[in-house]
């Protein structure tokens, strides 16, 4: 907010969400393998909206730390660059 006020926050957080989602998916795919990581990401996303059961091994994988702080910083940086370039 100190960098550009309220409008800056909205766009920076939108970019942070996109970067964070990509980082989370990439982390799951690297740690679990491409297909298992995609499957777990799909099940966790569906579980946010539907009452689905999750297996114990998937529960442990879902507790892996993900670098969302870096996504917030990247989102703010992307929006700063966008403002400077004039896109």
Place of tokens 């670098």: 67
Place of tokens 């907010």: 1
Express each pLDDT in 1-13 by its tens digit: 556 667 777 878 8
pLDDT (0 to 100) of residue 45: 82
pLDDT (0 to 100) of residue 15: 83
Q: Which residues of the chain have pLDDT under 50?
A: none
Would you put residue 33 in left (φ > 0), alpha (ψ -120 to 50) or beta? left
Cα–Cα distance measured from residue 53 to residue 68, given in angstroms and rounded to the nearest whole number = 25
Cα dihedral 50/56/59/60 (nearest 10): -170
pLDDT (0 to 100) of residue 87: 58
| pTM across the whole model | 0.67
């Amino acid at each position: 907010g100190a960098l550009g006020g309220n409008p800056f926050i909205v766009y920076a957080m939108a970019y942070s969400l996109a970067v964070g989602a990509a980082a989370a998916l990439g982390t799951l795919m690297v740690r679990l393998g491409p297909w298992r990581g995609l499957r777990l990401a799909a099940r966790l996303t569906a579980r946010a909206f539907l009452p689905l059961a999750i297996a114990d091994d998937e529960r442990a994988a879902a507790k892996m730390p993900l670098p969302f702080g870096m996504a917030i910083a990247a989102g703010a940086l992307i929006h700063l660059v966008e403002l400077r370039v004039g896109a």
